[in-house]
Structure formats: structure tokens, C-alpha cells
Structure 1
């Protein structure tokens, strides 16, 4: 009989397509993935993966085993969710995956309040821009800026995050829009909605620098590096910044809350979800009031 852990590592290789990528996903080293894969192939006495120079490709039998193994894993996670859903006391750990800007500049300041209300619930918050799988228990709750479509999930709109242009009050070209230079994202994010919005406003004006995350944009704008597109809840709260006028309308992204349907009624998960909804509603910056139409 094969080892389930070997199968779990094989599934990661099948999903990601590389040994190194599977290692990052499972937070182990490359050698562990290779050893687990070899062990599974030895136990099953069949080649499951073709190891190419820069990728891994499933063999025909490997593809069939991957489909069966994925169903096994889904069933295992369903059992775990069912057990959690049956535990009604407001105690335990709830894991959240949230965009980094909402963790550092919004949610973190409410953690003390949550702890006072629910002292037996521990929130484990990961600042992640990428999608996570709720069915694979990579998180109990996810907050996203794109409406999630994962099967088996329940989705609710939390609010709207408005963006506007900001500059340091000491920015040298503050009163000369034709001389503005902009803080933008790098080429990996060209298809991101706020990058398209910012570049449309910048037009032919120069890009002063490119940074990969919104918190770095905030720091660069504060330092006077240029004009940046920031969430209004972040920019308006910073007294060193000024929201600068432009002929174009402001831009906004919807904020979505998603949870697996098997966990939505679990006491700790329900408490965390309701708290997120409440603190979002209390902040006017997330109710659309900051968007100039």
C-alpha cells in the first residue's frame, strides 16, 4: 500500500507542474518532493511523471492517478470540514487569506477588538494577493478583490475599495500636473485593473518608479517619489498626503468575502465572518462614498 503523504506530494507536482513549485506550495525542499515522488512510483511500480528540464509532465497513467487522487483528497477535506462544522463552541483557530493592504492598514487595527469579543478564537491571518483553495483548506475564509468562483463556496460582497491619486504635500511638482511623475506597478501587473487605471491617467507622463505592492506605493508617495494611485481609506488617513484632482473619475474595486459552504455555519468561522462584515460597514471608505462619479 502506498503512503498517503507520497500521494499528497504527487498531487502538488501535478497541480503546479514543477518540483520546485510543488516544494514552495508544501513548504518543503526540492529533495523531499523528489523523494516522495520516487517512493510513490516505486510502491505503485509505474512511472507517473516525466521529469523534463524545466517542468514535470504527467504520464497517461499519471493523469489517471492524479484524477483519482484529487477525488480522494477532496473527500478527506470534506470529512475534516464536516467535523469542524459539528463543533459549535466559539473556540478554535480560524485562518483568513486577505489582500496585504487590507491586513496591514485596516484589519490589524481591529484584531484587539475581535480578541476581546471572542477570547477563545485565534485568528490566523495571511496577507496574500493570490487565490487560495478553500476546498483544500488553504484558508477557512478568504477576502478577495476579484469575485471568487471556486465550486462549493459561498460569496458575499463586503464593500467597495475606492482609489484616487495622491501626492506628498511636499511633492515638488504638486501644482504642475503636466510635470507629474507616477508610481506604478512593474510589468508583471500590467493586466491588474488599478495598473490600467493609473496608466490611463498618466498618459505620456513619466513613470518615476515601479513597485510590486500597494504598501510600497504608499511609502514611495509619502517620500515624494511621485503621484500614486492609492486606496482612499489609506491615502485619506495619511495627513502627509493630498488627494490631487484629475479630470478622470476615481476608480474602485469590489471587496468579496468567500467561505466554503461546509464551514459557513461553524461557530468560530461565522463569528469571524460577521466581524469582517461589521468592521467594513463601520468604515465609510468601503461603502462607495469615496468614489467621485
Structure 2
């Protein structure tokens, strides 16, 4: 016979009340049933747990040690049961993965909204590449992730949040020398430029390569950078050009002599989406969280577009 939670809960009740009858009432069982379980627990551990020579009954010294462990075990079980009652995505812990080309720009706008509208949610952020996040989502280490590529899996639910257009960042002097003008830049104009890309594993690198289908291997400069800030800094220094998403515009617009220019329609863009496992729909309510990220993203892109439009109207 093995120790069960019932053994531990009955033993705790007896220690609390010091009386078999009162403990049985508290545990909502008959006194004989409780007595049997206490005797079984002592038989399993091969030691007396209750000093039956005193009134009220008290645990023996060894029984006190067992009581401490029983209290910890029963508290953990209660916490586990309580967590199952939480509305996942609304309250309690929620592990969210976000790709590096989104996290630094979207999270500062979204976090205040989350704190205001979902005050009981304990959001735990994990930043990583798309492949890393999807792998952790599959392993159950993440509840959801925010990415910028389309997934092809019947196990995943993907909800579009907002569209994030791409802008060309290049040193202002180089833009003037090449005749690159705002809203008049075709993708074929970008192809001859030395295009700075993020390191392997970043989806933005692959998206930039696909947009510039005319580029050659010689003009695609794979410097191994892991952040857009690094690429923007290199572009400002005249080392090459890069594509940056709208949500990153405010972090790059004052970076020295950098020109951030809009590409002619149809402007290339990426779709930012919220991804969860399909089978989690019944146990997780992420609708409000998705709505917040969509709202924050729409606000960021709207601010950028208004700034860019105002710049050309001056």
C-alpha cells in the first residue's frame, strides 16, 4: 500500500483537532474510516504518529516531522487545484514568447494596457527567434507567442494582430547621392544597395531577402547582427542600407544622419500574429490579450504613418 492524499489529510485533521470524532466530522467521514486511515499510515511508515496516551491526542516527535511534510504536500496540491480554476490568459501566470524584432517596440505600448485591463495576469516574457519560440510552444513551455511569419500546422491557431510595413533606412547623404526619395523607392532600387541583414534565425532577415528579389549575394551583407538598433547604427554610419519595420521607427528616427524612407506602393509588410495551440482553446481565454496587442500595434503603426505623412507635408 502507498501513501495517499487521503491518508495525509486525515492525519492533518487529527493533529489539528486532537480528537478522532472531531477530526472525522471536519473531514466529513465516519470516525472508523478515519481511524483506519491513520492506522494504515502508521503501518506504512512503520512508526507511531499519534501519542494516544495524552488528551487531546498529539503527534509524536516523528509524527510532527511527517505533519510538516504533509502540510507542504497538501498545500502544493491545493495550489495546483486553485491554478486549474484560474482563467488562463486572464489571471495567473502566462508565458508569452515574442520575437526580438517585435518585443522592444510592441511590449512598451502593450504592457500598460495589460496592467490596466488584466491586472490579475502575471505575464512572463520570453524573447527568442521564431523557431525557438514555436519549439517551446510545442513543448508546453510557452502558452503563446507573437511572431511575424505564417505557420503551417494543424496543431496551431494563428490570429493576425496588425500589419507592419517596412521602411528603408540609409545614410541621408547616400540617399541624396542615389536620388532615393520618400514614397518613390521601388524594390528594384534597393537591390543594388549593400543591404544589411540580421543573423541567421531571425525571420526579418528572410523577409528582407524575399522582398529584394533582385539582390545578389554580393549585395546582401549578412553581418550577423542580432538587433535592428545595430543595423540602423551601421546604416547611419554609411556602411549600407537596411529595412526596418514601422513599429521600430521611433527608435531609429533620431539616430544621427539616418534617412528613413517609405517605399512606393505596394509597400512590403509583415503580419504580426498571436499563436497558440489549438487544443488550448477550451482551457485558455486569450481574446483580450490578443485585442490588446492588436490595439498597441495599431497605435504604433498609426503614430509612425502620421509622422511620416506630416514630414512630407511640411
Give the shorter-chain TM-score range: 0.5 to 0.7
> Pick from 247, 250, 262: which aligns with 2:267?
250
**C-alpha separation in 2, matches of 1:188 and 1:154:** 22
Change beyond 3 A, Cα 1:83–1:205: same
**C-alpha separation in 2, matches of 1:235 and 1:287:** 7
Q: Which residue of 2 aligns with 1:175?
A: 176
Instruction: Give ranges in structure 2 of 5+ residues lacking alignment.
Output: 1-80, 180-191, 308-314
For 1:101, what is the secondary structure of its paired residue? coil
1:131-280 pair list within 5 angstroms: 131=131, 132-133=134-135, 134-169=137-172, 172-177=173-178, 181-186=194-199, 192-198=206-212, 200=214, 206=219, 210-215=223-228, 216-235=230-249, 238-240=252-254, 241-244=258-261, 250-264=267-281, 266=283, 269-280=286-297
Instruction: Give ranges in structure 1 of 5+ residues lacking alignment.
Output: 1-81
**C-alpha separation in 2, matches of 1:151 and 1:85:** 26
| TM-score, length basis structure 1 | 0.56
| Residues 193-247 of structure 1: per-residue CA shift (max 9 Å, x gap) | 21232463x5598556623434232332344432211112213663334233667
Change beyond 3 A, Cα 1:120–1:187: closer
| TM-score, length basis structure 2 | 0.53
Q: Which residue of 2 aligns with 1:107?
A: 107
Change beyond 3 A, Cα 1:233–1:88: closer
Superposed displacement of residue 113, structure 1: 3.0
For 2:252, what is the secondary structure of its paired residue? coil
Q: Which residue of 2 aligns with 1:30?
A: none
Contact kept, 8 Å, 1:194 with 1:251, in 2: the verdict is no
For 1:97, what is the secondary structure of its paired residue? strand
Q: Which residue of 1 aligns with 2:61?
A: none
**C-alpha separation in 2, matches of 1:107 and 1:285:** 16
**C-alpha separation in 2, matches of 1:181 and 1:116:** 44
More helix, by proportion: 2
Q: Which residue of 1 aligns with 2:92?
A: 92
| Residues 43-72 of structure 1: per-residue CA shift (max 9 Å, x gap) | xxxxxxxxxxxxxxxxxxxxxxxxxxxxxx
Superposed displacement of residue 259, structure 1: 1.4
Contact kept, 8 Å, 2:157 with 2:275, in 1: the verdict is yes
Superposed displacement of residue 97, structure 1: 1.2
Change beyond 3 A, Cα 1:282–1:101: same
For 2:101, what is the secondary structure of its paired residue? helix
Change beyond 3 A, Cα 1:86–1:151: farther
CA-based RMSD: 3.9
